[in-house]
Amino acid sequence: MSRSLFHLTSPEVAAALERSSIAVLPFGSVEQHGPHLPTGTDTIAAGLLAQEVAERLDALFVPFGPYGITPIHAGHPGTISLRRATFEALVTDVCDELVAMGADRLVFVNWHEGNIAALDAAATDLQARDGHVHVVSAQACYVAERLYADQGGELTHGGGLEALAVFAHDPALLRIDLAGDGSRSARAGALDAMRRDREVYGYITDVTEIDEAGWYGDPGWANEALASDFAATVATEIATQAKSIFELRT
């Protein structure tokens, strides 16, 4: 039986949450990813992985919606960004409804870095209001970056790992023939590393600051062999860590 809230009847949703009070939600964005990847790349990746995480946790999969917070891609056709307040309100309303129907453990599976601050705020507010509720946030793009680093997987905008996620979902959506040679400039890599530094970091407010083309990396790194177990590999790691956190909180 499907574990997606969208595919279940109301009594089936109630039964699913009674059996396991965990709900898994995916978060992504709709933004340009160069000429070779769809605008929904982040949402595709998050949804693919969240469904696999839900399977491993015997949880209810709750589709959220395609849009996220991505103003740095404004002005590029296909980019649709929500205001942070709008996104946080949506997350809060959906989670409050899930809690009211019996969910007390929530797993956020996020692929888009622009959502992180808002998800953190929504999660901490939810836990503060409902002391019996616990939230785990999985930054799936960072998990994938770590797991595939030894194989040459790089987390760049429109590069190898994002191409791999799309390949795993539907190879027809990856237009590698349109990517050309890509861009692997040292400056682009340094700027990306700068904004992700955990200690001292600066900010990127326009993606063209990283690369004029609006994307960089090596999408040609993705292949069928890697794509075949991409979702299982990343989802297993996320589910394992989420279980450990929930056990720690009980």
**pTM (2 d.p.):** 0.97
Q: How many CB atoms lie within 10 A of CB 155?
A: 19
Q: Name residue, tokens 């340009």.
A: 32
**Average pLDDT, integer, range 47-59:** 97
Question: Is the CB of residue 233 less than 8 Å from the CB of residue 226?
Answer: no
Q: How far is residue 38's CA from residue 48's CA, in Å, rounded to a whole number?
A: 15
- The bridge status of strand 105-110 relative to strand 60-61 is unpaired
Q: Per-residue pLDDT tens for 208-241? A: 999 999 999 999 999 999 999 999 999 999 999 9
pLDDT at 185 over 90: no
From the options 3.40.190.10, 3.30.565.10, 3.40.50.10310, 3.40.50.300, give the CATH code of 5-249.
Answer: 3.40.50.10310
Distances (CA, A) of 199 to 80, 193, 195, 205: 30, 11, 10, 19
* Domain positions in the chain: 5-249
Reported residue count of the chain is: 250
What would the pLDDT profile of 3-51 be if each residue is shown by its tens digit? 899 999 999 999 999 999 999 999 999 999 999 999 999 999 999 999 9
Going across the sheet that includes 22-27, the strands are: 60-61, 22-27, 105-110, 134-139
158 torsion bin: left (phi>0), alpha (psi -120 to 50), beta (else): left
